[in-house]
Structure 1
Amino acid sequence: MSTFEGHIREFPDIQVDYFRTTQATASRRPLACFLSHVHSDHLVGLDTLRSPFVYCSMATRALVLRLEKYPCRINFAKRILEARKQTYKHLKHLLKPLPLNTPTTIELSPGNRIQVTLLDANHCPGSVMFLFEDDHKAALYTGDTRLEPWFVNSLVRNPCLAEYTAGLRTIDTVYLDTTFIERDVTFETKAEGIRELLQAVAKYPHNTIFYMRAWTFGYEDVWTALAKALRSKIHVDEYKMRMFKSLSVDATGGPQTALDPVAPGLLGFTYANTFHDGCLTMEEAHNGTPVRIHSCEKGLGYCSAIRDPTHPIVWIRPVVCRLPYGRGEVPEVGAGGCGEDLNKETDLEVYGPDEVARLREM
């Protein structure tokens, strides 16, 4: 769970991944804001933000604008609400997308400029790190990042970081998530975790149906691996499909139209005038064969395939890591500690001093 309050000491005129007023910003409002990714613990206060611009990746912008809070989307699905209520839709003109690996100069005020570069964070669709620079200082904000060996090597080769790896410049501060730094645990790589999962599901009979508890963004590689290994589509609800379709400029277009590399594999793409299916579907059966993998909405009582008592169901529950000496597992409460962004049991708002003061006045 992110507890960062958004302040970059080297660049006090900006705020990152936290959009409420704090003691530091009460007398000095930020001139620009930055959003690293779509997980809810990094969106604190964004729904009430009125200014300034918020810079993010193209994929993050697309996802954020279509986010719906859990009660609203469930009530719409049950036809209690007549229209969708997209929480951040009003920020359409405030969210400004930037390309990755492209140093971009932003003028905060006359004569006050910073350069920002978005770097892939290896976390979830659209997730980025921010490299903030001026002529004298540099700070790297990682957001939530998965620093596996291959990924660290890719950063070393990134041309936007070449002057630092060559020793010509120094990054003054790295703002790094330290959620698990005090725990005596070792994290598997994503590849190791997926390999273990595939070995486990391969032991079950061919008529077994698997329910993958994918309640937030970040399980796309797991979906892809399961779909390929089991030769099956993945049944998702309409809301999940809508969210991932936002990652394509045109859901029937080619890979070049995708806002994130995961989009063609999930949604499909057109090649040589032929549409190639992605692994996600809203149908419980595909070509007459029942879908073996499900990540559909649990708040509506699941789909008929999961409710059918004659189907052998295996529930896949992700874990963050295993504790040493057989002391159990750390359950996944959402990638990045964000809770259940796609499937929530409850919807909890945490209010700051400004909101409490307004409630008292009322």
Structure 2
Amino acid sequence: MPIEMPKGLPFAVDTWSSESARKRHHFLTHAHRDHLAGIVSRASYPIYATRVTITIVLTYFPQLDQANFVEIKVGEALVINDADGVFSVTACDANHCPGAVMFIFEGTFGNILHTGDCRLTADCLQDLPLKYITKRGKEMVSRFDLIFLDCTFGRCFLKLPTKQSAIQQVINCIWKHPHAPFIYLACDLLGHEEILVEVSRTFGSQIFVDQAIYHDRFSTLSLIAPHVVSNDPSSRFQGFRDYTKEQEKP
């Protein structure tokens, strides 16, 4: 869950409360809805996010003004002039959902890594700026003073599969049912698009997504992988909305 940045820092990350509204700069790691609570009522310029995240958020909330957002690109350091001093921010791939990034802040307040929601694989860590993964003798060239880490599964003792392995499990299951007239894919969360893309590629078939009841996923898929989306309801592969998840929500 998003948390408030400590007092004294000029920026907020993924929070849209009365407290974070007093911050001069706002950063959004990705477009999952639990990171957007309050953004409609408290959105103010500038909000830094990737192009994909900005597009998805504006799809969710068309009442927001695009002028509130500033695009930040993965791998590029953006220098921000603040009343308390210049600081820089670098966006790094979070290996999570489309558009998701981690932020590295560097300024008089120190070096801070905010992971947002992330899947920290070895490859993902290697994509951090070189000075944070390179040693000079026994010491790192640069160190983080603060790390705000996604610990969603920090107390989980299960060995979670890699993203690639999980997708392959879905594909293997489909192979076991070659005569099934329809395959329903309950991929109704932002981040499940990779499953649909790989299923479409493997079986050479587009996936029907009913725009009327599946608007968010239709819009995201049309943005990220338009070649996957089919308007033909007779398609063997069908996007399916799992309403039981919605009923379980408080």
Q: TM-score range by the shorter chain?
A: 0.7 to 0.9
Report SS of the residue matched to 2:16.
coil
Q: Distance in 1 between matches of 2:182 and 2:95?
A: 29
Task: Give the Cα separation in 2 of the matches to 1:346 and 1:94.
Answer: 34
- Range moving further from structure 2, 35-44 or 134-143: 134-143
Asked if residue 228 in structure 1 is aligned to residue 205 in structure 2, the reply is: no
Q: Does 1:293 align with 2:242?
A: no
Answer whether contact 1:47 1:88 (CA < 8 A) is retained.
no
Aligned to 2:15: 18
Normalising by structure 2, what TM-score?
0.87
SS in 1 for 2:90: strand
Structure 1: 5+ residue runs without aligned partners?
68-86, 248-262, 268-277, 286-290, 300-316, 318-332, 334-343, 349-362
Conserved in 2, the CA contact under 8 Å of 1:102 and 1:118? yes
In structure 2, list runs of 5 or more residues that go unmatched.
Answer: 135-139
Select 2:221's aligned residue among 233, 241, 244. Answer: 244
**Cα deviation 1:263-283 (Å, max 9, x = unaligned):** 2xx21xxxxxxxxxx121122
Shift of 1:164: 1.9
Report the residue type matching 1:221 in the other structure.
E
Contact 2:221/2:228 (<8 A) preserved:
no
- Tell me the CA shift for residue 345 of structure 1: 4.9
The CA deviation at 1:208 is: 3.2
Q: Any conservation in 1 of the 2:45–2:67 contact (CA below 8 Å)? A: no
Aligned to 2:229: 280
Structure with greater Cα Rg: 1
* Residue identity matched to 1:32: H
User: How far does the alpha carbon of each residue in 1:59-82 deviate from its partner, in whole angstroms, 9 at most, with x for none?
Assistant: 100110011xxxxxxxxxxxxxxx
Identify the range of structure 1 (198-207 vs 38-47) with the bigger mean alpha-carbon deviation: 198-207
Which of 179, 190, 193 pairs up with 1:206?
Answer: 179
Q: 1:244 to 1:224 in 2, by over 3 A?
A: closer
Could you say what the CA RMSD is over the residues aligned between the two structures, in angstroms? 2.4
Q: 1:297 to 1:178 in 2, by over 3 A?
A: closer
Cα offset for 1:50?
4.2
Q: Using the TM superposition, give the Cα deviation of residue 116 of structure 1 relative to its aligned residue in structure 2, in angstroms.
A: 0.4
Q: How does 1:109-258 map to 2 (within 5 A)?
A: 109=83, 112-135=85-108, 137-152=110-125, 154-155=126-127, 158=128, 161-166=129-134, 167-238=140-211, 239=215, 240-245=217-222, 247=223
Q: Which residue of 1 aligns with 2:71?
A: 97
Q: Residues 230 and 194 of structure 1: is their aligned pair in 2 closer, same or farther, counting only changes over 3 Å?
A: same
RCO higher in 1 or 2 (8 Å CA, sep ≥ 6)? 1
Contact 1:237 1:297 in 2 (8 A): no
For residues 34-78 of structure 1, give each alpha carbon's deviation from its aligned partner in whole angstroms, at most 9, with x where no partner exists.
0000000111210101424111111100110011xxxxxxxxxxx
User: Residue 67 of structure 2 aligns to a residue in which SS?
Assistant: coil
TM-score using structure 1 length: 0.61
Residues 82-122 of structure 1 deviation map (CA, whole Å, 9 limit, x = unaligned):
xxxxx25323211211111111111232x522100111111
1:108 aligns with 2:100: no
The count of residues paired between Structure 1 and Structure 2 equals: 241
Distance in structure 2 (CA, Å) of the matches to 1:228 and 1:180: 30
| Kept in 1: contact 2:28–2:49 (CA 8 A) | yes
